[in-house]
Structure 1
Amino acid sequence: MAKPTASAGPSARAVAPVRRPELALPELRPHDADALRPDGDHDGASFTDLDLDGADGGGSTFLECALRGCSLNGTRLTRARLLDSELTGVRGVGTELAGAEVRDVELTDARLGGTQLHGARLTRVVVRGGKIDFLNLRQSTLTDVAFEGCVLVEPDLAGARLERVSFTDCALRGVDLSGATLRDVDLRGVAELDIAAGFDRLAGAVVSTVQLMDLAPAFAAQLGVRVED
C-alpha cells in the first residue's frame, strides 16, 4: 500500500502555478543621460555598465528597459515603476525601492544588500540566480513571483502578502514571516530552508515531507509541545 504524503487528504489540491512574465524587449537605445532624475520617463532604454550610485530616480517609470551590469549603491527609486523590463548583473547596497511597482520583470544574477522594497508590489516577476542579503519586503505584495537558484539571506517578509510564489533550488536563510499571509506558496524546491520567525503564518504554503520533519521541532515549540525521548 502506498504511503500517504503530508498533503494527502480530502481537502488537498494542486498548488496554483506561478504566472511568469513573457518579455520581448524591442531594440533598445542607450540611456542618453549621465544619471537618473526624479519622475523620469524611460521607454525602450538600455542602461549598461553605468555607475548610478546615489542617483535619485524616485517616481520614475521604466517601460521595456534593460539595466545590465549597473552599480546601484544607495540609488533612490522610491515609488518607481519597472514594467516589462529586465535587470541583469546589477549590484549595490541600500538600493531604495520602497513603494515601487515591479511588473513583468526578470532579475538575473543580482548581487544586492539591504534592498528596500517595503510596501512594494511585485507581479509576474522572476528572480534568477545571484544573492540578495537583508531584503526588506515588509508589507509588500508578491503575486506570481518565482525565485530560482538564488540565495536570500534574512529576507524580511513581515506583514507581506504572497500569492502564487515559488522557490526552486534556492537557499532561504533566516526568513521572517511574522504577520505574513500566504496562498499557494510552494516551498518544496527550497534547497536550504531556515525560518527565523512566523512559523504560525505557514498556512497557505506547501512543504515537502522532509522539510516537514525538519520543521517539526519549531512547530512543536510554537504549539507549546514538549518533546522528550
Structure 2
Amino acid sequence: MAGRDEETVRAVRRPEVRLPELRAYDGGAWEPEGDYDGLEFTDVDCAGQVARGARFMDCALRRCALDETVLSRARIIDSVWSGVRGVGTDLSQASLRDVEVVDGRLGGLQLHGAVLERVVVRGGKIDFANLRRAKLRDVAFEGCVLVEADFGGAVLERVSFDDCTLTRVDFSAARMTDVDLRGVAWLDIARGIDCLGGAVISAAQLMDLAPAFAAQLGVRVE
C-alpha cells in the first residue's frame, strides 16, 4: 500500500455544482416523496421533519437545523449544504449525487446503505456517522473531523481524505479501490486494519500503524 506510485491512484472526480437562481423556501412542512427543485433553505428549523423518499434538486440548505430529520431514501442532487447542524439526521439508503457539504456539525448521522457519488465534505465535524454498507464513489473529505465513523461493510472507490482527523474509525469488512489516506492529519483505526487493501498510505503512516498490523498478524514486538 505505501509503495504504490501516486500515478496509480485514480483521482476523485469532484462535483461541479452550479446552482441556478433559487427561490426562497416558503416554510411549509416537508412531505414524504415530496419534490423540491431550485429552493433555498436559509436558517430553517427542519428538526423532526419527515421527507422520506423526497427529491431535492438544485437546492441550498444554509445553517439549517436537522435534528432527527428523516430523509431516508431521499435523492439529493446538484445541491449544497452549508453550515447545517443536527443530531440523529437520518439519510439511510439515501442517494447523494453532485453534492457539497460545507462546515456541517452533525452527530449520530445515519447514512447506512446510502449511495454517495461525486460528493465533497469540506470542514466541520461529524460524530458517530453510520456508513455501514454504504457505497461511496468519487467522495472527497477535506479538512473535516470524523469521530468514530463506521464504514463497516462499505464499498469505497476513489475516496480521498485530505487534512482530516479520523478518530476511532471502523473499516471492518470494507472494500476499497483507490482510497487515498495519505493526506490524513491524524489516522486512528479502531477496527478493520486488515481491510486496507486497495488503499494507499504514506511511509510515515505505515510506521504509525505498524503495531496494529503486527497485532493483526499475531506478531509480538518486544
Measured against the shorter chain, the TM-score band is over 0.9
Distance 1:8 1:152, change over 3 A: closer
Structure 1 residue runs of 4+, over 6 Å off? none
1:178 to 172, 176, 181: 172
Residue 123 of structure 2 aligns with which residue?
Answer: 129
Change (3 A) 1:6 1:156: closer
Which residue of 103, 107, 116 corresponds with 2:110? 116
With the length of structure 1 as denominator, give the TM-score of the two structures.
Answer: 0.95
Any gaps of 5 or more consecutive residues in structure 2?
none
Alpha-carbon displacement from aligned partner over 1:193-215 (angstroms, at most 9, x marks no partner): 00000011000000000000000
What is the aligned counterpart of 1:218 among 191, 212, 215?
212
Counterpart check, 1:105 vs 2:99:
yes
Counterpart CA distance in 1 for 2:64 and 2:4 is 47
Post-superposition Cα deviations, 1:100-119, rounded to whole Å, max 9, x if no partner, equal: 00000000000000010000
Structure with greater Cα Rg: 1
Residue of structure 1 aligned with 2:221, choices 184, 208, 227: 227
Report the Cα distance in structure 1 between the residues aligned to 2:161 and 2:112, rounded to whole angstroms: 20
Q: Is 1:191 aligned to 2:195, yes or no?
A: no
Aligned residue number for residue 65 of structure 1: 59
Report Cα offsets for 1:159-184 as digits up to 9, x if no partner. Answer: 00000000000000100011000110
Give, in angstroms, the shift of residue 35 of structure 1.
Answer: 2.3
What amino acid sits opposite 1:43 in the alignment? D
The verdict on how the C-alpha distance between 1:6 and 1:59 changes in structure 2, with shifts beyond 3 A counting, is closer
How many residue pairs get aligned? The number is 222
Distance 2:175 2:216 in 1: 17
1:167 is aligned with what amino acid?
F
User: Could you tell me which amino acid in structure 2 is paired with residue 7 of structure 1?
Assistant: G
- Normalised to the residue count of structure 2, the TM-score between the two structures is 0.98
2:36 aligned with 1:14, yes or no?
no
Identity %: 64
Equivalent residue number for residue 55 of structure 1: 49
Aligned equivalent of 1:42, options 36, 39, 44: 36
Is 1:204 the counterpart of 2:195? The answer is: no
How far is the alpha carbon of 1:14 from its aligned partner?
1.8
Q: Where do 5+ consecutive residues of structure 1 fail to align?
A: none
Distance 2:180 2:2 in 1: 14
C-alpha change, 1:209 and 1:112, in structure 2 (3 Å) is same
Is 1:94 paired with 2:75? Answer: no
CA contact (8 A) 2:29 2:49 kept: yes
Q: Distance in 1 between matches of 2:51 and 2:41?
A: 13
- The secondary structure found in structure 1 opposite 2:185 is strand
Q: Which moved more, 1:92-101 or 1:35-44?
A: 35-44
Does 1:33 find its partner at 2:27? Answer: yes
Q: Deviations over 1:42-68 (max 9, x none)?
A: 010011100011000111000000000
Distance 1:98 1:125 in 2: 16
